[in-house]
Amino acid sequence: MLRRRTVTAACALVIGAITAMASPAAAAPNPGAAPVISAVKPPPAMLEAMTRDLDLSTDQAEVRLVNEARAGATESRIRADLSDSYAGSWVTGDTASTLVVATTDASKISSITASGVQAKKVDHSLTTLNAAKDALDRRAAAAPRTAPVWYVDVRSNRVVVLTSQPAQAETFIAASGVNRSLVSVQLSTEQPRTYYNVRGGDAYYINGSSRCSVGFAITRGTTNGFVSAGHCGRAGNTTTGYNQVSQGTFQGSSFPGNDYSWVAVNSNWTPVPYVNNGSGGNVTVSGSTVAVVGASICRSGSTTGWHCGTVQQLNTSVTYSQGTVSGVTRTNVCAEPGDSGGSFISGSQAQGVTSGGSGNCTSGGTTYFQPVNEILSTYGLTLVTSGGGGGTCSGYQSTYTGSLSSGASAYQPNGSYYTTTVTGVHRGCLDGPTGVDFDLYLQKWNGSAWVNVAQGTSPGPDETVTYTGTAGQYRYRVHAYSGSGSYSLGVTRP
């Protein structure tokens, strides 16, 4: 059969101002059917850990996972609509039944609540809070040991500095030049430390001595490997696996400042899209969509196995004895030495690698993880997922996953669309299952209908598109031309 020609980059730069909608009377974008949240039965070990650590019943844990997936889909759409007035979001309730979205613009309240979401009017946008935290980050070298942690807390709409000596923290804040009204100082006895001690969560050994844990399996071209914490090893250090068999070599490492690394493994090791579930089984990794504040999250490590908690704050800076690490996520999941580098996962979505924390898994504690998407982007790595296709997409802002039967289509992000207010480059990358023919289309709303502006239609499972366009509403259509299975879609937008 004669196959269609591939058009991987249909580029168009339109000069002049174009409004997103043709006129007030024009129809609003219709993204298609509402997204369906598929309820995949979570593994027993995950449910057991959630019931133990979050004090839930098994039914409540299952409901919570479904609610969190739905919240992530809804939050992504609302965040795009709010633009600069967005001030963060979080879920509440034992089963994450309520999504709260904060905004600085009172006129946006009605549109938020119309989506079935609770709205909160606050004084400071997330952009403003992140800028304040950045100011503290620039003074990280001067931060006192008594103030080891600071983060953006969307619930309180402040940057929080944790300290055992408030006076010393105040001096640090003043030296940063940040607006004091944006910062809240809180008493804390936290003394974070790194956990020095290729399936995610499995043990590996550095230079035949210290032990850490595998984060997630990755590929880089034809090279296989895994990501882990930066403090576990430096470029050139050798590793052996959990069975003490020769494994690989650190290719890149950053610590402090960041806390990430990646290891290239030899031909004896094969990367798989799994995380050790702590009881002899696996949790499948299908993507790396970031979990919202308040979402449940679980960690796998070679010392303490599988433990769960919730996301407390994104964009946190934490000071260890070796220096400050910025941009990590704060959780109330426990961890202990040897868990360093291990997997943080929410549902089936990879979140990051264990950095350090305080406390232990007997009395409880706080643990920080380095987000995995930053590691992938920095080193040009591809996360190994259940999407099939060998993992062809890395370094994209957002990742979406789904499953299609032959002839069917799905629309991303999450059955909806996104809005951009500037001219810029849109990039999409589709990773489909081996042996099928999946296609990818980028569509733009022209005021009355969705129009294809870029497409990838090669006779295979994987596609990429690049398009330079003006402000407006956009969405991706993933089409199963032939064959069925799961896919992963990486998206970067202006």
- Is 340 catalytic? The answer is yes
* Dihedral over alpha carbons 444, 489, 95, 304 (to 10 degrees): -160
Catalytic entry in 76, 124, 153, 231: 231
Q: ∠28-30-31 over CA atoms, to 5°? A: 140
Q: What is the pLDDT along the chain (494 residues), one digit of tens a residue?
A: 233 333 333 222 222 222 222 223 334 554 443 444 444 567 777 888 999 999 999 999 999 998 988 888 888 889 888 999 999 999 999 999 999 999 999 999 999 999 899 999 999 999 999 999 999 999 999 899 899 999 999 999 999 999 999 999 999 999 999 999 999 999 999 989 776 548 999 999 999 889 999 999 998 888 999 999 999 999 999 999 998 999 999 999 999 999 999 999 998 888 888 999 887 778 888 888 889 999 999 999 999 999 999 999 999 999 999 999 999 999 999 999 999 999 999 988 899 999 999 999 999 999 999 999 999 989 988 888 875 434 456 667 788 888 888 888 999 998 899 999 888 889 888 988 777 788 999 999 998 999 999 888 877 788 888 888 899 999 999 998 887 778 888 898 88
Q: Is 267 exposed, middle or buried (0-12, 13-18, 19+ CB in 10 A)?
A: exposed
Question: Active-site residue 439, yes or no?
Answer: no
Q: Beta-carbon neighbour count of residue 363 at 10 Å?
A: 7
Amino acid at 141: A
Interatomic CA distance for residues 135 and 138, integer angstroms: 5
Residue 426 is among the residues annotated as catalytic for this protein: no
How far is CA 420 from each of CA 232, 238, 381, 442, 489, rounded to the nearest angstrom? 40, 45, 27, 14, 19
Q: Is the dihedral of CA 390, 394, 396, 399 positive or negative?
A: positive
DSSP 80: H
The amino acid at 332: N
- Tell me which amino acid residue 146 is: T
b/e code 189-223 from CB counts within 10 Å (16+ = b): ebbbebbbbbbbbbbbbbeeebbbbbbbbbbbeee
The secondary structure of 40-58 as a DSSP string is: PPPPHHHHHHHHHHHT--H
Pick the catalytic residue from 153, 259, 431, 439. 259
**Residue 12 half-sphere exposure toward CB, CA atoms < 13 A:** 12
Tell me the two tokens of residue 191.
């003394």
With a CB cutoff of 8 Å and minimum separation 6, the contacts of 294 are 90, 91, 92, 96, 310, 311
81 touches 107 (CB < 8 A): no
The catalytic position among 228, 340, 346, 416 is: 340
